[in-house]
Amino acid sequence: MNEITASGNTVEEAVDSALKQLNTRKAQVEVTVIDEGKKGFLGVFGSKPAVVKVKKKPDPISTGKNYLQDIANNMNVDVDIEAKADGKTISYHFQGEHLAILIGKRGQTLNALQYLAGLAINKNHDEYYTVMTDAENYRSRRKESVEGLALKMADRAVRTHKKVVLDPMPAFERKIVHHILQTRHDVTTQSQGKDPRRSIVIHPVSK
């Protein structure tokens, strides 16, 4: 049961009654007041109960999974989607064949799917959820690639005594660069620009 109409002496009582019957919390439902009710004379004569319609909000995990499944189907890619939640982070892992289509060049399609799924989930929920998408363990392989690139470009900055500007990256990849280079004392990192063209600048440190 995802929706119920309930009544009570007040709107609050009607909502509480509906929440108990749905076995959920107020943050997880949408409330529509059908009738605010009326106390009546001496609180009895002519009184009218308050009536509300309470509907459960879509489950965020299912919302994202269904959204991504629809996109994959429209792209004619047959996939299974494994969903996991860790607090306010929801991860979706694509499994199947022809996943390169969902990954795209440098993970651009995968990043776009991640962004769109986040929008689909958060537009219907008061709490904010972070969404991660992955296929064929691309994220871990990409992490190693980004770390290698960061170290290589840092060496170039030190060798040439000139700053090096990396290609635009999504936020989580920029975080990888900042993290891998923060232990080095011969370079500093700085983000510049605005998404989706935001990038990292590696500066050599003068001795």
Question: Within this chain, do residues 130 and 144 fall inside the same structural domain, yes or no?
Answer: no
Among the candidates 87, 118, 136, a domain finishes at: 136
Whether a cis peptide bond, with omega within 30° of 0, leads into 196 is: yes
Each residue's pLDDT, cut to its tens digit, for the chain (207 residues) gives 789 999 998 899 999 999 999 988 887 788 999 998 887 555 556 678 899 999 988 889 999 999 999 999 999 999 999 999 999 999 999 999 889 999 998 899 999 999 999 999 998 777 899 999 999 999 999 999 999 999 999 999 999 999 999 999 988 899 999 999 999 999 999 999 998 899 999 999 986
Shared domain for 42 and 71, answered yes or no, is no
Residue 45's pLDDT is what? 60
Instruction: Determine how many CB atoms are found less than 10 A away from the CB of residue 63.
Output: 20
Q: Of 32, 56, 80, which one is at a domain's C-terminal end?
A: 56
Say if residues 46 and 40 touch (Cβ distance below 8 Å). Answer: yes
Residue 148: the pLDDT is 97
**For residue range 83-92, what is the model confidence (pLDDT) as tens digits?**
999 999 999 9
Domains contained in the chain, number? 3
Rounded distance between C-alpha atoms, residue 114 and residue 138, angstroms: 13
Read off the CATH number of the domain in which 71 is found.
3.30.300.20
Cβ atoms within 10 Å of 146's Cβ, excluding its own: 20
What is the pairing mode between strands 199-204 and 130-135?
unpaired
Which of 109, 136, 163 lies at the terminal end of a domain, its last residue?
Answer: 136
pLDDT of residue 46: 62
pLDDT of residue 172: 87
Q: How far, in Å, CA of 114 to CA of 132, rounded?
A: 6
Same domain, 70 and 132: yes
Q: What's residue 58's pLDDT?
A: 82
pLDDT score recorded for residue 48: 86
- Say whether 134 sits in a helix, a strand or coil: strand
Residues in a beta bridge with 67: none
Give the long-range contacts of residues 166-171, CB within 8 A, separation 24 or more.
Answer: 166/199, 166/200, 166/201, 166/202, 167/199, 168/193, 168/196, 168/197, 168/198, 168/199, 169/198, 169/199, 169/200, 170/111, 170/195, 170/196, 171/195, 171/198
What are 111-160's pLDDT values in tens digits? 999 999 999 999 877 789 999 999 999 999 999 999 999 999 999 999 99
Shared-domain flag, residues 88 and 115: yes
Question: What distance in Å separates the CA atoms of residue 133 and residue 69, rounded to the nearest whole number?
Answer: 12
Distance of CA 157 to the CA centre of its chain: 35
CATH of the domain at 156: 3.30.1370.50
Residues of the domain holding 106: 60-136
